[in-house]
Structure 1
């Protein structure tokens, strides 16, 4: 006979979860659209005008408070024109997305350089600095004689490591080569990390050595846009009917979810048409072992089952060692320890007769344990 279950809270939830899923889909679509529209809110890495955790507005303000002029530029032309004004320091922080010729022009600007090492043309900007490896970002001791680092003390550095002819500080994540200083990471200069340890002191010592800083940032790209052919964004190249197609796809998914999520009635529990006895299952598995001549697997199954049944009776732990099991069995049954070890942990039988003998001996062991 079939038994019909009455509607319950669990059943109502199962029937209504399709509508909940559709509501969540609509909300997720709205959130995704909002993220696309305002993707720039996550912050611009090492930007002196960005007040987010990834930006560096706090450091720029500290430099200005010390009388250092900070000029934020996003082009090589502007950096070259500012270099003509006099003594300056050029900071290349976020990865520069210009081409090789622009990197060469940056390298030819006179003055001191501070370069965050994750740059595509580091070999052009700092030809005497070689990439050496990677180090985990954490608070590190200077470990060098560089005055800027020794005065700052511990700082949050790591990332890429380098080799250079000058000073090597913070496990190689800050190196100097003439007028060029290369950093493995600029995280210590972000608003998030600036107040930790000696991060602010190190940043001010490195960037405040000149009267002015030319702070180079990548050229702006529209929020949620990627540059396309001819300088146009992907959104500008996209056909006008694409947003409508996306909206239609969302509606279609919602309709299909409602259609497939409907239940015609309560769940019906039915009896199994066939009951298979455990003995038949064991016999069938044994025949499969025999057909494939899988004596090794059969022996492992026999031994594993015997150990699972014997271990609790012997009062041993969950994963006893082989010598502990053999010793406990020998003391309990009086059987020879060598025979017990061979039966439970020895090599697999060489033929079917040996497998049958092993099964019989394991049964004898279990009988002896039960009787004693």
Structure 2
């Protein structure tokens, strides 16, 4: 039997070498992703003012979330505004005389030093009031910030009218006045304390630079704060930006970097992009190719048998038959793969009831002298295997 292994010339051939189009098709996603990341980075750098984050309700912050506009209005009225970012500084300012304490920091809720200060106090957006405002309870859920009518007799609120307010919702102690209702509580509560008046507002959004000019926001803020001669404005402590970290002789951290660092970072980014394009390439579509010939297993066995017969390799054929039989019957006899000759013969003789010498000669004896002996050996081995399988 001859096998024709020549390729079929009628079928088409396909090139697996990458082309310019296939390379671009495979790497365009990485290129577009790199361009988008570069654009986003440039946009962030351009829209970030000086790399500094905005500070909410800070009288020195000019961003939309800050309150510098309100501080300027208060100073224009002759009110002294002192910005502090620690409890120690607030206590020290209180020792200077009659001052209003404005608290926009939330981390001071449980500090008893502030609770012991006498005078008026305005607490903004702080739901934790156990020490600062005893008797006031914060209701669960809060409220959405929107324009609200005062609906109360408090002069500061009625004169201001509609205000953009919300946030925490309070219920006040006996004798308190609640304004700007939300649900079952109020977003502004005012009541007298031992040394002045305590006022709480659910959020300070109406005091920010962005909202101060809307509705009656400025009027309410000035009515609550403008009657004081001096204000101690306690804010969240400022977190320095990376560019503000001072080094020796006033130089920033960027000034202390070696001049080759930016160049090295840029070259590293380009190298990573090139490696991604190189390793991410495709070699083209998978080509399905049929085998030239299909040879059945029976034909393979017959072909090998003809080769043995032509070369008169009876010993080789007998060894193949015996090895196959031993491999198949050994597990059925309960023996391991390393079982010796005597163990296999003894177990097989017990299982089949045949003479151990006859079984040993069939499995381990000399090679047959002629073709008839080889055929007889094959039949005997087949009969032994059938007997073992049946029992």
Question: Where on the TM-score scale, by shorter chain, does this alignment land: which range?
Answer: 0.5 to 0.7
The 2-side partners of 1:250 and 1:127 are apart by: 58
The answer for the alignment partner of 1:367 in structure 2 is none
**Does structure 1 retain, via aligned residues, the 8 Å contact 2:109–2:129?**
no
The answer for the alignment partner of 1:201 in structure 2 is 219
The 1-side partners of 2:109 and 2:126 are apart by: 15
CA 1:12–1:85 in structure 2 vs 1: closer, same or farther (change >3 Å)? same
**Structure 2 residue 34 is the aligned partner of structure 1 residue 22:** yes
Provide the aligned length of Structure 1 versus Structure 2.
250
Alpha-carbon shift at residue 106 of structure 1 (Å): 1.0
**Does structure 1 retain, via aligned residues, the 8 Å contact 2:23–2:281?**
no
The answer for the alignment partner of 2:241 in structure 1 is 223
The answer for the alignment partner of 1:184 in structure 2 is 202
Alpha-carbon shift at residue 50 of structure 1 (Å): 0.6
- Corresponding residue SS for 1:127: coil
CA 1:122–1:259 in structure 2 vs 1: closer, same or farther (change >3 Å)? farther
- Corresponding residue SS for 2:75: helix
Alpha-carbon shift at residue 160 of structure 1 (Å): 0.8
**Structure 2 residue 125 is the aligned partner of structure 1 residue 113:** no
The 2-side partners of 1:39 and 1:16 are apart by: 33
Find 1:63's aligned residue among 74, 82, 85. Answer: 74
**Does structure 2 retain, via aligned residues, the 8 Å contact 1:74–1:218?**
yes
Alpha-carbon shift at residue 207 of structure 1 (Å): 0.8
CA 1:52–1:251 in structure 2 vs 1: closer, same or farther (change >3 Å)? same
**Structure 2 residue 91 is the aligned partner of structure 1 residue 80:** yes
The answer for the alignment partner of 1:168 in structure 2 is 178
The 2-side partners of 1:224 and 1:161 are apart by: 37
The 2-side partners of 1:169 and 1:249 are apart by: 60
**Does structure 2 retain, via aligned residues, the 8 Å contact 1:88–1:111?**
yes
The answer for the alignment partner of 2:156 in structure 1 is 148
CA 1:203–1:2 in structure 2 vs 1: closer, same or farther (change >3 Å)? farther
**Does structure 1 retain, via aligned residues, the 8 Å contact 2:163–2:206?**
yes
Q: Normalising by the residue count of structure 2, what TM-score does the alignment of the two structures yield? A: 0.55
**Structure 2 residue 259 is the aligned partner of structure 1 residue 259:** no
Moved more, 138-147 or 11-20: 11-20
CA 1:249–1:143 in structure 2 vs 1: closer, same or farther (change >3 Å)? farther
The 2-side partners of 1:68 and 1:93 are apart by: 18
CA 1:18–1:117 in structure 2 vs 1: closer, same or farther (change >3 Å)? closer
The 2-side partners of 1:150 and 1:168 are apart by: 12
**Does structure 2 retain, via aligned residues, the 8 Å contact 1:140–1:170?**
yes
- Corresponding residue SS for 2:224: helix
CA 1:270–1:155 in structure 2 vs 1: closer, same or farther (change >3 Å)? farther
**Does structure 2 retain, via aligned residues, the 8 Å contact 1:18–1:262?**
no
Find 1:138's aligned residue among 142, 146, 150. Answer: 146
The 2-side partners of 1:188 and 1:29 are apart by: 33
The 2-side partners of 1:2 and 1:196 are apart by: 75
Q: Which residues in structure 2 correspond to 1:262-273 (within 5 Å)?
A: 262-264=281-283, 268=285
Q: CA RMSD in A?
A: 3.9
Moved more, 8-17 or 194-203: 8-17
Alpha-carbon shift at residue 71 of structure 1 (Å): 0.9
The answer for the alignment partner of 1:293 in structure 2 is none
Find 2:131's aligned residue among 124, 132, 142. Answer: 124
**Does structure 2 retain, via aligned residues, the 8 Å contact 1:47–1:217?**
yes
- CA offset digits 1:119-149 (Å, max 9, x no partner): 5x42111122110131110000001111100
